[in-house]
Structure 1
Amino acid sequence: MSHLITLADGGVLDLSAWPLPDGVEDGVLNRTQLARAFAVTENTITKWIGLGLPVLSEGQNGIAYEFQLSHCWAWKNARDEKARATKARGDQIAAQAMLGFRNLDADQEEEEGHLTADDIRKMSEAEYHRNRVAEQRGDLVRADRVRALFEESLVRIGTSLDTLPDFLEMKFGLTAEQVADVEQRTDQLREKIRGDLEELLRRPGAVLAIGDRQGELGV
């Protein structure tokens, strides 16, 4: 059977969900006694009052605060349970976010999806240190350096493609129509290369070894 009380903030607390432990007698306590019962300081009780701890009567004019032990016990357990649920939800979101940010593939997600946020954090820290060592050895390369290299290469490729029609016209005596065809083809090739490079650089993920994915662009 439920026993509901209304809290100061308008919320409803079901006392039957968190009954006093066996052998603990219910009763009315003052602030000092309640602090002793919960093994906390009176300052903590004052803080709890501000957070919504049920109060039977507020102290004034030399009269002490009064608290029903069963009400306070249920309130504290409900608050602790809510805090645990909030933390568990936060850990779940953090774990999902970390998995997503690490760009796990399907196999990795199956293997690592059960890990807690703390497990993943420790694993990520270890992975970071491994990558740092590998970078210092020259086995890994940073994405910003790859991007700079790609941009420099695009400039060189673009310059070569721009001058290619003129070179072919002079070297092989192409007609104006043939030169136009070459220009159209080089423009298409330039856009294809740029699009492939931009698509590759947009992909999230960890730093990769230089030789791991050679030929991925297909150009």
Structure 2
Amino acid sequence: MADDIAADDEPLLNRAQIAQIFNVSENTIDKWRSKGMPVEVEGGNGVAYGFLFSVCKAWFEETQARAAAEKRAADDFVAQQRMNFLGLDKQDQKAGLSPAQMRELAQAELVWMQAAERRGALVQVDEMIELLDLVFTEIRAGLDGLPDWLEREFGLSGEDVERSVVYNDGVLRSIKAAIEAAALSERPEVVDPLDRGLL
């Protein structure tokens, strides 16, 4: 009942007055009116528009709440689609970051990687592949020639030379397995050729 009396006692405000309360321009009030803000007296032909503040305030708060809910829903949709696109899940620490935060994180990671590269703590993948290729070519050449060298230097029998070939093949297989395991982020199983009965 008190609310009814308060509503009855509330003065009718013109466009300038309601704009002043909301701290906006009269043009903004016109835009709000076109979007559904309630008008008590329709203006025109010399008649001023009339507004009740309590009614306009309720409309404004409802509109703001609806806009905020729509923005949250859109932001959630964008975040979900971004996670899907980047292959992230909700547990991933980067999943909740905004695009600006993701950009800042990427820039920080780039600066860190450049500094690590200058210190020699980080190398380019293609450079590492080239180096490993060179190293393993030398290892294979050395192991392939080792049985002949052992035969010449120590007068090994054909059976002893064959055993050294088997041993060298085991070393190469172990190296290959370690590389493959590292590429798959698995811990390689260390196998000693002596345990295999290769020597």
TM-score, normalised via structure 1 length: 0.46
Q: Which has the higher contact order (CA 8 A, sep 6+)?
A: 1
Pick the structure with more helix per residue: 2
Greater radius of gyration (CA)? 2
Q: TM-score, normalised by structure 2?
A: 0.50
